[in-house]
């Protein structure tokens, strides 16, 4: 069967198909036909080797549905394949080969392909994936058919969580951090076929689409219109890892008595960004794994392997979970406050911190902060306090929290997860981050970690003057503190800061004694005659 009558590649697409490299990367800018080329490459490979299996991936199912599957349903005629299993998203071609459409929303989803063999693996928007996912998938890239050539390809724009490692392998031709066997890296295996919007005749003369790309913020315009891989040079949060620093919301059980707070970066033309945070006690947070989060309680003195990076101990350290996101522009202060109240439901919020400029700006007779506060208080929430706006100290603290696994973000906070790896250093003020359109989620999260973290009792180290030092996340602010409605054992465990067994036992005894005094029934007042 001649496939050319169904698909006629553009010049750059043809260059991609003709490449003999083991690992190919196609694209750079938006609009050159990357996804379509990746789909048809899988089809070519399937027809080239009868009985072979191929795999096409996106990060999430909605992305898969709106791209690769949409192209398949629209462009591939029914006569080309025997069947399509809608439930499993597997195409069986007329020669017995198959193409599976899959997605890897979480870091460990790649292990569903363990034991499988694929002649060709194509990954759309490769920078949405992590280096560990890519490296595992290379182990599945094999074919038992003799004289076959197993290979992989990616299609992507610059940016997102995988920008640094993709750029290193294909653009800079050097092994990235985390590529353990650097002596095995061969740059000849990696070919980058650079393409721009002008390489696609459909969009080359589309003035409206070009105008859309040109109107993007500078860093996105350079990435999507020019395909500039240096746009994120000087990446600030170069340690951010999707699998290590994110978790699915359904994997969490956040107890109602754990401190919760809200951080807000106000905006009208620019989006307002709002985040909900929770302080997870040390004995619970110890069960956190780099590949996920567990809420099961582990003994504070246990020596469990694999819970934290090698050589690092967090036996009694609290963690902050950022678990909800709301980002929208065009809302008045009162509308924003109402939206916050509706999304929080009946949660007990300890504090609300707000960007300092909202206390000075006025849209009517009252400041933005006052208008927000009036609606929040009416809904049972605290009146907002001004967030600490030391940018340099705040960024350092965010970096430190990521580095020490003290901060995890649920993956429904999509804007924040997308924003963090795209932040770059300010060339004129190297310790600061360059301000760009779209950095509102990062600012709101910074307020939450610096100001809210301190308010929630996860340690007085959450102040900019200590940024860059290892924060004692479980240092109690003042003397013993107890609340009603929270298990006493958990309250005591959170306040024990000693590390050796003897000191811990003494600390436990003192806190238990203090708790008895706190919860002792109060005597009835003496009746006066």
- Mean pLDDT, to the nearest integer, of 505-529? 70
Distance of CA 463 to the CA centre of its chain: 25
Q: Is 264 helix (H, G, I), strand (E, B) or coil?
A: strand
pLDDT band, very low/low/confident/very high, at 196 (cuts 50, 70, 90): confident
Query: What is the percent of the chain where pLDDT is above 70?
Result: 81
Specify whether the CB–CB gap between 67 and 27 falls below 8 A: no
The CATH number of the domain covering residues in 242-466: 3.30.420.280
Rounded CA separation 90/111 (Å) = 18
**Residue 352 to residue 256: CA distance in whole angstroms:** 17
Q: What does the pLDDT look like over 281-297, one tens digit per residue?
A: 865 555 444 444 433 33
**Bridge partners, residue 385, by sequence:** 353
Q: What is the mean pLDDT of residues 430-457?
A: 83
Is 301's pLDDT higher than 60?
A: no
Average pLDDT of 316-339?
A: 90
> Is the CB of residue 389 less than 8 Å from the CB of residue 356?
yes
Give residue limits of the domains in the chain. Answer: 11-232, 242-466, 488-519
pLDDT, greater one: 452 or 415: 415
471 pLDDT band (50/70/90 cuts)? very low
Please tell me the predicted confidence (pLDDT) of residue 331. Answer: 94
pLDDT at 485 over 60: no
Of 178, 239, 165, the C-alpha closest to 403 is 239
Predicted confidence (pLDDT) per residue in 500-513, tens digit: 666 677 777 777 87
Do residues 219 and 233 lie in contact, with contact meaning Cβ atoms separated by under 8 Å? no
> Fold match between 11-232 and 242-466?
no
Residue scoring higher pLDDT (361 or 139): 139
Residue 83: per-residue pLDDT:
96
**In the CATH scheme, what is the code of domain 11-232?**
3.40.50.300
Q: pLDDT tens digits for 230-265?
A: 777 677 887 888 778 999 998 888 999 898 999 999
What DSSP element (H or E) covers 414? helix 414-419
The answer to whether the beta carbons of residues 36 and 8 sit under 8 Å apart is no
Distance, CA of 415 to chain centre: 8
- pLDDT of amino acid 198: 80
pLDDT higher than 90, residue 25: yes
Q: Looking at residue 300, what is its pLDDT? A: 32
Higher pLDDT, 416 or 519: 416
The pLDDT tens digits of the residues spanning 368-383 come to: 999 999 999 999 999 9
Q: Is the pLDDT of residue 483 over 70?
A: no
**How confident is the model at residue 304, as a pLDDT?**
29
Beta bridge partners of 319: 280
Which pLDDT band holds residue 345 (cuts at 50, 70, 90)?
Answer: confident
Q: Which residue has the higher pLDDT, 516 or 328?
A: 328
Buried b or exposed e, range 279-300, using 16+ CB within 10 angstroms: bbbbbbbbbbebebbbeebbeb
Percent of the chain predicted with pLDDT > 90: 45
Confidence of residue 311 (pLDDT cuts 50, 70, 90): very low
Q: Is the pLDDT of residue 125 over 80?
A: yes
The CA-to-CA distance between both ends of the chain, in Å, stands at 107
Higher pLDDT, 333 or 474: 333
C-beta separation of 269 from 329 below 8 A = yes
* Mean pLDDT, range 18-42, rounded to an integer: 90
The per-residue pLDDT for 524 is 62
């Amino acid at each position: 069967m001649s496939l050319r009558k169904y698909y006629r590649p553009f010049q750059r697409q043809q260059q991609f198909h003709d490449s003999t490299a083991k690992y190919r990367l196609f694209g750079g800018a938006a609009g050159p036909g990357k996804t379509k080329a990746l789909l048809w490459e899988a089809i070519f490979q399937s027809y080239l080797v009868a009985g072979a299996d191929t795999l096409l991936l996106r990060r999430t199912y909605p992305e898969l549905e709106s791209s690769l599957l949409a192209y398949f349903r629209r462009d591939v005629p029914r006569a080309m394949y025997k069947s399509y299993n809608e439930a499993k998203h597997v195409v069986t071609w007329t020669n017995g080969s198959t193409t599976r459409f899959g997605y890897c929303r979480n870091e460990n989803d790649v292990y569903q392909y363990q034991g499988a063999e694929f002649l060709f693996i194509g990954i759309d928007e490769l920078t949405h994936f992590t280096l560990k996912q890519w490296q595992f998938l290379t182990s599945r890239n094999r074919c038992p058919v003799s004289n076959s050539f197993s290979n992989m390809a990616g299609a992507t724009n610059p940016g997102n969580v995988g920008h640094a490692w993709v750029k290193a392998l294909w653009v800079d031709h050097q092994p990235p951090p985390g590529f353990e066997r650097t002596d095995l890296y061969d740059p000849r295996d990696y070919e980058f076929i650079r393409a721009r919007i002008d390489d696609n005749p459909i969009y080359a003369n589309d003035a409206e689409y070009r105008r859309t790309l040109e109107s993007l913020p500078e860093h996105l315009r350079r990435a999507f219109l020019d395909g500039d891989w240096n746009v994120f040079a000087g990446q600030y949060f170069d340690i951010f890892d999707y699998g290590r620093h994110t978790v699915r919301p359904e994997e969490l059980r956040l107890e109602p008595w754990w401190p919760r707070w809200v951080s807000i970066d106000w905006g009208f033309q620019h989006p307002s960004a709002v985040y909900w945070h929770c302080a997870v006690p040390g004995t619970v947070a110890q069960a956190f794994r780099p590949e996920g989060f567990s809420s099961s309680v582990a003994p504070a003195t246990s020596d469990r392997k694999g819970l934290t990076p090698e050589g690092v101990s967090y036996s009694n350290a609290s963690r902050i979970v950022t678990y909800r996101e709301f980002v929208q522009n065009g809302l008045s202060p009162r509308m924003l406050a109402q939206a916050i109240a509706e999304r929080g439901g009946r949660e007990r919020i300890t504090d609300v911190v707000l960007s300092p400029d909202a206390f000075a700006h006025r849209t009517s007779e009252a400041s933005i902060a006052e208008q927000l506060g009036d609606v929040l208080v009416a809904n049972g929430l605290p009146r907002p306090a001004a967030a600490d706006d030391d940018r340099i100290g705040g960024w350092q603290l965010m970096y430190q929290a990521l580095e020490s696994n003290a901060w995890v973000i649920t993956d429904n906070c999509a804007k924040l997860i997308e924003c963090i790896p795209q932040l770059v250093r300010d060339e004129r003020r190297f310790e600061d981050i360059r301000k760009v359109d779209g950095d509102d989620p990062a600012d709101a999260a910074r307020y939450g970690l610096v100001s809210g973290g301190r308010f929630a009792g996860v340690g007085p180290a959450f102040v900019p003057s200590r940024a860059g030092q290892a924060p004692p996340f479980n240092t109690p602010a003042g003397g013993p503190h107890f609340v009603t409605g929270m298990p006493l054992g958990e309250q005591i465990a959170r306040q024990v800061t000693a590390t050796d067994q003897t000191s811990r036992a003494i600390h436990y005894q003192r806190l238990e004694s203090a708790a008895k005094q706190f919860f002792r029934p109060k005597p009835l007042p003496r009746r006066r005659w």
